[in-house]
Amino acid sequence: MKVKITGIIIFGLIVCVLGIYAISNVDTNHVGVENFQPLHDAPQSHYENVLASPPLPDQIDFCGEPIPLHLYWVKEGLDRELIIHCYQHSRTLLTFKRSTRFFPVIEKILKEENVPDDMKYLCVAESNLENVVSPAKASGFWQFMEATGKHYGLEINEHVDERYHLEKATRAACKYLKKLNKQFGSWSLAMAAYNMGEAGLSKNMQEQQINNYWDLHLNQETSRYVNRCVSYKLMFENQELYNIRIAANEFYKPIDYKEIIIDKTIGDLREYCTENNILYRQLKELNPWLRSTRLPVHGNKTYILRVPK
């Protein structure tokens, strides 16, 4: 038994020695070492990821109201939001790409409703220009809760949800923001109320005896909210400064469509699409407010559907 064990040990030592010898004599020219290119010499594409602090302005306003950057918590709060948006590459990039499709629609309505153009950045902060649903069930570009949406004239039921209708939801948001501005006396406080609710903001203002948004101690989400909007304004209006490099042909273009009036119930939208040579997917893409497979029409009510040209 001892002889066998000794033999195994000797054999193992021989294998190890041969292995070490073989490795030490490998010809590196045969493993492509001569073709290895150090990272710093590699050709650069137009995209770079540099870890640096985004530039902060000396002064800026939002909705015509100056942002008090002399207060350290305001300045550092804006810095925080800029860092997040500058380095949250995928979300920020997609938001910029979508902006050319949706900003023209939003800007037109803001102007018609006499709401500051800067409020389009509130929409960006709420949804990044997507029809998303929050954990609290706020929905659409402007993130309306169901009760608030209905209060401001949006139809919301199992078949139709106009929180997903960009034009109608934008007009409802304008009405709501103007009401809040009149109630609280500034656009910054109106934005805070939009985020946390009127009752919650009123309670904080009364308890702290403060009527200035920037001096209020609020929950973290609402404390960051206005700076989040301001940071988007800075980036959109200073794209070269923030090193945003998107070619003109890389932005998303508006989608062409035509409108048809619907005054009778459509029992099955999929059959309707087949009969009218329309892709069901395109119908849903152009009319995200359609929330089921049918469209009931009651009384003299009519709906306007967008279909591909």
First-residue to last-residue Cα distance in the chain: 89
> Given this model, what pLDDT does residue 51 score?
83
Q: Which residue would you say has higher pLDDT here, 124 or 35?
A: 124
Query: Residue 275: pLDDT above 90?
Result: yes
> Given this model, what pLDDT does residue 18 score?
55
Record the pTM.
0.82
Query: Residue 199: pLDDT above 70?
Result: yes
The stretch 142-165 carries a mean pLDDT of: 98
User: How do residues 2-17 score in pLDDT, each as one tens digit?
Assistant: 445 555 556 565 655 5
Cα 186 to Cα 30: distance, rounded to the nearest angstrom: 72
Portion of the chain with pLDDT greater than 70, in percent: 84
